[in-house]
Amino acid sequence: MATALSNLSSYDPMAVPTGKGKRVAIVVSDWNSSVTHKLLKGATDTLLQFDVSADDIIIERVPGSFELTYAAKMMIEKGKVDSVIILGCVIQGETPHFTFVCDSVTEGTTQLNLNYNVPVIFGLLTTLTLDQANARAGGRHGNKGDEAAITALKMMELQSRYI
């Protein structure tokens, strides 16, 4: 969604449900930490803005983006959480590693969403350059962490209507 047509941090605050009483896990990759830690700040600040208590935001760090889905699964199974946000950044390199990691995290996130009754929010930046990543981590395209937190709030509210 981050294009010249929209900003990741743009939303109507009146259309965002409260997170009061919700417990949200954020799993963040330490790889490309200059980017991912900005995503984490965006997500955390947004959750706090919409009444998720600081005590109800559980942050787990993993070495790289490939490990995000395993940690998310553990948080769902053991963490008693209402939603999990995964945050990572994979930047295209010279080898196919980029494609393998991006495909794996995408498929893993989809499987978690299909197999568990806990929304898992995809906050993985998949960019060609560090400049593109920075533009989506608080730069000119906003912050994917903000967008992921808003998505979590909306999905938890959706879930509460059906479960």
Q: 87 is written with which tokens?
A: 């945050």
Q: Are 27 and 85 in contact (CB under 8 A)?
A: yes
CA dihedral (5, 124, 154, 136) positive or negative: negative
DSSP string, 53-105: -GGGEEEEEESSGGGHHHHHHHHHHHS--SEEEEEEEEE--SSTHHHHHHHHH
Give the tens place of pLDDT for each residue, 12-62. Answer: 777 888 999 999 999 999 999 999 999 999 999 999 999 999 999 999 999
Among 162, 75, 163, 91, CA closest to 133: 91
> How far is the C-alpha of 140 from the C-alpha of 151, rounded, in Å?
20
Q: Which of 97, 100, 107, 158 is catalytic?
A: 97
- For each of the domains in the chain, give its residue range(s) and CATH number, in order of start: 22-162 (3.40.50.960)
Instruction: Band the pLDDT of 2: cuts 50, 70, 90.
Output: very low
For the segment 87-143, what is each residue's pLDDT rounded down to a tens digit? Answer: 999 999 777 778 888 889 999 999 999 999 999 999 999 999 999 999 999 888 889
* Structural contact between residues 86 and 38, judged by C-beta atoms closer than 8 angstroms: no
Cβ(160)–Cβ(123) below 8 Å: no
Model pTM score: 0.93
Question: Catalytic annotation on 97?
Answer: yes
* Token output for 160: 């509460």
